[in-house]
Amino acid sequence: MSYQDEPGGYDVGSFPKDFSYGPFEQNGDGDNSSLQDDHKPRILLMGLRRSGKSSIQKVVFHKMSPNETLFLESTNKIVKDDINNSSFVQFQIWDFPGQIDFFDPTFDSDTIFGGCGALVFVIDAQDDYMDALNKLQLTVTKAYRVNSNIKFEVFIHKVDGLNDDYKMESQRDIHQRATDDLADAGLEHVHLSFHLTSIYDHSIFEAFSKVVQKLIPQLPTLENLLNILISNSGIEKAFLFDVVSKIYIATDSSPVDMQSYELCCDMIDVVIDISCIYGMVDETETSTFNSQSSSLIKLNNGTVLYLREVNKFLALVCILREENFQKQGVIDYNFLCFRDAITQVFELRNKCQNLEDGSPMGTPEATNGPLDSTISGSLLSQTPLP
Ligand SMILES: Nc1nc2c(ncn2[C@@H]2O[C@H](COP(=O)(O)OP(=O)(O)OP(=O)(O)O)[C@@H](O)[C@H]2O)c(=O)[nH]1
């Protein structure tokens, strides 16, 4: 990951449409870095001072430990962070200073909101949130006028300090007030998504996963592939993880429960830690996660966790009953079909992006159409487990 700290020089002309995917572009011929930049969507982090914006960015994308965020200094200019080199998913995060003033003539809202995919507004739930709600209304109104395609995500943050009842009550109250405020501004049709988050547990990774997923046009295809994989392999739940950030870019369509997600995150940590200690062939190696990476953990409640490498950046982590793991051969075969299908999805996506920069080929409908049926066919041809 590279880290930039430059408040000016935004690229106004290009309008990022969706995610671009690292491995294939890096593998491609020639220098297409400017093309990559064109396709990189922006996620903006906004909210009042000290609400926790920089902490979120540092913990999720820079592996900072939550306690270290106590020493973070206040952000006083826009900080752009490129999430690209080591992560499969590519985008930019712009961290805004809390005191940003939309009426300042130097605040170029067309540039800032124009190329934005998602706007994450962070509200400190441990503080009085009335000012934050006013700012939220102002921000959404301003951003929506410039770009009606922005996904608005509200993080009700620092909930680690709150008991469960108060947490739910705050969420209900913030939800109600925020939607009322928008209705007053004539924007009742604008959708806000709410997430309860804290950097001290997995909730921030889960919330960010959902933000990122909304910007992946191939999500329905990925979900469909995961559904086919689990139903033919006796798997209960499967996540496709971006290994570096531990955000999941897709899961099957059964509901996600936090404990399963935490278990899978912990498994990735275990695999990376063990690989760092025992998996380095020589000291020049920089990545310990490679095509040899896989792991099987049996829990004492009859559950099995199974991890397989999909590519340099992605891992599939599955949860299944021990008795369903007896036919590991079928699961492994289905996994290989799944991996091929995923590769095809992103290769096709990449070709479309290169061929028709900005054309409707990049839309989910286009990528889901003919591709889905061929890939589904190859997976479905496997013998389902009894
Ligand atoms: N309890 C708790 N504290 C948090 C959490 N997230 C951030 N903090 C703390 O909140 C304080 C402010 O965090 P920052 O990330 O600097 O806030 P910011 O929104 O970037 O602040 P500005 O740069 O001034 O706009 C720090 O002391 C963090 O440790 C959280 O989830 N729970």
- Determine the residue of 5, 48, 50, 62 to mutate for testing ligand 1's pocket, defined as the one with the most ligand atoms within 8 A of the Cβ atom: 50
Whether the Cβ atoms of residue 156 and residue 123 lie closer than 8 Å to each other: yes
Q: Determine the Cα–Cα distance for residues 115 and 106; give it in Å rounded to an integer.
A: 17
- What's the whole-number mean pLDDT along residues 158-175? 92
How large is the angle between the packed helices 328-355 and 364-380, nearest 10 degrees? 150
Which residue's C-alpha comes closest to atom 12 of ligand 1? Answer: 50
Q: How far is the CA of 18 from the centre of ligand 1 (A)?
A: 29
CA 270 distance to own-chain centroid? 21
Amino acid at 110: D
Q: Stretch 353-379: mean pLDDT, rounded? A: 41
pLDDT above 80: residue 192: yes
Closest CA relative to residue 58, chosen from 381, 100, 123, 67: 67
Q: What percent of the chain has pLDDT over 90?
A: 46
Confidence band for 353, pLDDT divided at 50, 70 and 90: low
Pocket lining: 51 vs ligand 1, CB cutoff 6 Å: yes
For ligand 1, whether the C-beta of 49 sits within 6 Å is yes
Round the average pLDDT of the chain to a whole number and report it: 79
Q: Is 377 left (phi over 0), alpha (psi -120 to 50) or beta?
A: alpha
Atom of ligand 1 at shortest range from CA of 57: 15
**Looking at residues 151-159, what average pLDDT do you find?**
95
Q: What is the distance in A from the centroid of ligand 1 to the CA of 1?
A: 22
Measuring CA to CA, which residue among 6, 370, 86, 355 is closest to residue 246? 86
pLDDT for position 386: 35
Please report the atom of ligand 1 found closest to the CA of residue 95: 20
361 burial type by CB count under 10 A (0-12 exposed, 13-18 middle, 19+ buried): middle
User: Which residue is associated with the tokens 């939309």?
Assistant: 102
Atom from ligand 1 closest to the CA of residue 197 = 31
pLDDT tier at 254, thresholds 50, 70, 90: very high
Instruction: State the pairing for strand pair 42-47/116-124.
Output: parallel
261 contacts 206 by C-beta, under 8 angstroms: yes
Cα 279 to middle of ligand 1, angstroms: 36
Distance CA 217, CA 208 (A): 16
What percentage of the chain carries pLDDT values higher than 70? 75
C-beta 53 within 6 A of ligand 1:
yes
Cα of 261 to ligand 1 centre, how many Å? 24
**Does ligand 1 come within 6 angstroms of the Cβ of 69?**
yes
Cβ–ligand 1 distance for 74 under 6 Å, the answer yes
- Tell me if 181 sits within 8 A of 222, measured CB to CB: no
Q: How confident is the model at residue 39 (pLDDT cuts 50, 70, 90)?
A: low
Question: CA–CA separation, 123 vs 130, rounded Å?
Answer: 10
Q: Please say whether the beta carbons of 277 and 271 come within 8 A.
A: no
- The neighbour count for residue 263, using CB atoms within 10 Å, is 19
Q: For position 106, what pLDDT does the model report?
A: 76
Task: State whether the beta carbon of 99 lies less than 6 angstroms from ligand 1.
Answer: no
CA Rg value for the chain = 21
46 CA to centre of ligand 1 in angstroms: 12
State whether residue 77 is helix, strand or coil.
coil
Cβ of 57 closer than 6 Å to ligand 1, yes or no, is no
362: which residues sit within 8 A by CB, 6+ positions away?
Answer: 17, 18, 217, 349, 352, 353, 356
121: CB partners within 8 A, 6+ apart? 46, 47, 135, 136, 139, 140, 152, 153, 154, 155
Contact (CB, 8 A) for 18 and 41: yes
pLDDT in the model for residue 290: 65
d(CA 35, CA 222): 24
Ligand 1 pocket residue status of 279, Cβ below 6 Å: no
Q: Is-contact 229 250, C-beta < 8 A?
A: no
Alpha-carbon gap, residue 315 to 238, rounded angstroms? 10
Is residue 242 within 8 A of residue 249, CB to CB? The reply is yes
Of the two residues 374 and 348, the one the predictor is more confident about is 348
